[in-house]
């Protein structure tokens, strides 16, 4: 049985995916896993392949959800994205890393900011 934290993460990813699709993103894959890590959502935004990290926090007392993505996590996301691109033989495809912040307000999960091109490889 999944932990409460895991369930919240799954719900947050679903909320983020629906919001991205509402904004015109076309989801390719969710929860892509490789030895080096996991990418929550992979989607097309027009002609750009986007690797999306969803971050959820209960409080902003210690910073925003995006601020919790340190160098080590960025490195894992980059390595996982490179694995995906090699595995799918996607050469010369423009891509970027977005972060979707999900926050808990009044007991409800809501999408906060969507940060396009949050970091580069």
**Cα distance between residue 28 and residue 18, in whole Å:** 13
CA 120 to chain centre: 14
What size, in residues, is the chain? 121
The pTM of the whole model exceeds 0.85:
yes
Architecture of domain 4-119: 3-Layer(aba) Sandwich (3.40)
pLDDT digits (tens, 9 = 90+) for 69-86: 999 999 999 999 999 999
**Cα distance between residue 113 and residue 62, in whole Å:** 16
The residue written with tokens 């959800």 in the block is 65
Share of the chain above pLDDT 90, in %: 69
Give domain limits for the chain.
4-119
Would you tell me how many other CB atoms lie within 10 Å of the CB of residue 117?
11
Q: According to the model, what pLDDT value does residue 107 have?
A: 83
pLDDT digits (tens, 9 = 90+) for 2-52: 777 778 889 999 999 999 999 999 999 999 999 999 999 999 999 999 999
């Amino acid at each position: 049985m999944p932990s409460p934290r895991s369930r919240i993460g799954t719900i947050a990813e679903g909320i983020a995916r629906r919001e991205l699709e509402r904004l015109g993103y076309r989801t390719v894959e969710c929860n892509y896993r490789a030895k080096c890590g996991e990418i929550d959502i992979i989607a097309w935004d027009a002609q750009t392949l986007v690797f999306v990290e969803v971050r959820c926090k209960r409080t902003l007392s210690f910073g925003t959800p995006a601020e919790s993505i340190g160098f080590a996590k960025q490195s894992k996301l980059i390595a996982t994205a490179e694995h995906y691109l090699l595995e799918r033989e996607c050469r010369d495809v423009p891509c970027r890393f977005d972060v979707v912040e999900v926050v808990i307000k009044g007991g409800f999960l809501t999408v906060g900011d969507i940060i396009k091109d949050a970091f580069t490889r």
